[in-house]
Amino acid sequence: MDKLVIEGGYPLKGEIKVSGSKNATLPILAATLLTDDVCTIRNCPKLRDTMTMIKLLRSLGKTVDMGKDEIIISSKGDLNYIAEYKLVSTMRGSFCVLGPLLAKLGKAKVSLPGGCVIGIRPVDLHIKGIKALGANIEIEGGYVIAKAKHLKGAHVYLGGGFGSSVLATANLMMAAVLTNGETIIESAACEPEIEDLANFLIAMGAKIKGKGTPQIIINGVKKLHGADYKISSDRIEAGTFIVMAAATKSNLVIRNANYSHLLALIDRMEEAGVKFEKDYNVIKVKCAKTLKPTSVTTFPYPGFPTDLQAQFMALMALTPGVSVITDKVYPDRFIHIAELNRMGANIRREGSNAIVEGVKKLYGAPVMASDLRASAALVIAGLAAQGKTEIHRIYHLERGYEELDEKLKFLGAKVYREKE
């Protein structure tokens, strides 16, 4: 196992290209279960989570071939309807095979999911949506077992205690595309990753209206065909580079980035004093020497993403003054506070709020990555800190950032790997 070593204090410079979206890739790969035809998925990021989903597809009976920048999925016979614990337990996104397996085979047995330890993330909305389509669902031995001779369209409210659910919306969409009749999803997730999934399903022959809005209307079809599809860019990776630029007082050019997907972050960054220029799919970040403390509250899209909360906290930890960071999506997503404080930050938690009293400097220290986005926050802190930072358990980082250490080296950072 490797650890990441960062020598802080060096500004970043140059241009970087954002990889394909992790959060779009996983459900789109799962959606290939809906057809027996060949599907080619392009711009797929090379990540641990991508490889886990590929292993899961192969275990379910798909043939998966990997090219330089694409994944080709085909069928070699009958599908297996059981998604095993050893794969699903390592990555929450793999739970989205439930909908397509049930729609294609009339039955599915999927392990309850795992992933990052960022608080309780139940699957009740997934089950509610699938049940509404006429499925019988039982939970037994750590597995969700779903059966249905014929799924039928339904009008489903999918809102939860903390807003809409991206993965539950994806699961229900994939189950609904092969049903009899019309399905209307109210309080659907509006994230760009859901739009990406909808576009892929439409390319396969699905009939979907309302993508990107809280109401998605799906008219079921009897069969889907193969498709050739390009994944959109990863807005969370782009946002992470924006925060890195600000934390290291750097000017960066970020390519293959969709400005409109980052408006909530850019609003808060501009409030803090960061300047931006945009040109089609290029974002230029111009950082001020001195930033202002800025508070933020996470919400489902188009609100400030919970997946950028930890990174933004690392920036505010270096910004003199007091900021309040509130997470309304995952109120327990604050494990990174203790590690940032080890580096000299002054952060305290009060319920779903983090009170950040900015300091002039952070100092390198050995720290432990607890989840994917917390890992990115520690990288940001390490890049800006004085001295050497060692980040352990970087397999979390590898789940969602493609070759991040190599990209940072390209930008001039002093980053390298060492064996534990």
| pLDDT, tens only, 325-344 | 999 998 889 999 999 999 99
pLDDT in tens, 187-228: 999 999 999 999 999 999 999 999 999 999 999 999 999 999
CB atoms within 10 A of CB 235: 26
pLDDT of residue 148: 96
Confidence of residue 89 (pLDDT cuts 50, 70, 90): confident
Q: What global pTM score does this model have?
A: 0.96
Which range (96-100, 112-116, 154-158, 213-217) has the least confidence?
112-116
CA 134 – CA 153 distance, rounded (Å): 8
Task: Name the fold adopted by 2-19+233-419.
Answer: UDP-n-acetylglucosamine1-carboxyvinyl-transferase; Chain (3.65.10)
Burial class (CB in 10 A: 0-12, 13-18, 19+), 279: exposed
Contact present, 61 and 82 (Cβ < 8 Å): no
- Using the predicted structure, report yes or no on whether residue 409 has a pLDDT greater than 60: yes
Residue percentage of the chain with pLDDT more than 70:
98
CA 59 – CA 364 distance, rounded (Å): 43
In sequence order, the 6+-apart residues with CB closer than 8 A to the CB of 327 are 297, 298, 306, 309, 333, 334, 352
CA 93 – CA 22 distance, rounded (Å): 10
pLDDT of residue 76: 81
pLDDT in tens, 367-388: 999 899 999 999 999 999 999 9
The tokens describing 130, both together, are: 């699938």
pLDDT of residue 160: 86
Asked if the domains at 2-19+233-419 and 22-230 fall in one CATH topology, the answer is yes
- Using the predicted structure, report yes or no on whether residue 118 has a pLDDT greater than 60: no
pLDDT of residue 332: 86
Name which CATH class applies to 22-230. Answer: alpha beta
Residue percentage of the chain with pLDDT more than 90:
88
- Using the predicted structure, report yes or no on whether residue 121 has a pLDDT greater than 70: no
Confidence of residue 11 (pLDDT cuts 50, 70, 90): very high
For residue 91, give Cα distances in angstroms to 3, 4, 78, 168.
21, 22, 25, 15
Contact present, 314 and 346 (Cβ < 8 Å): no
Every domain of the chain and the residues it spans: 2-19+233-419, 22-230
pLDDT in tens, 222-250: 999 999 999 999 999 999 999 999 999 99
pLDDT of residue 117: 46
- Using the predicted structure, report yes or no on whether residue 179 has a pLDDT greater than 70: yes
- Active site (catalytic) residues: 116
pLDDT of residue 72: 97
Mean pLDDT of the chain: 95
In this prediction, residues 11-19 reach a mean pLDDT of: 97
- Per the model's pLDDT, the better-predicted residue between 289 and 218 turns out to be 218
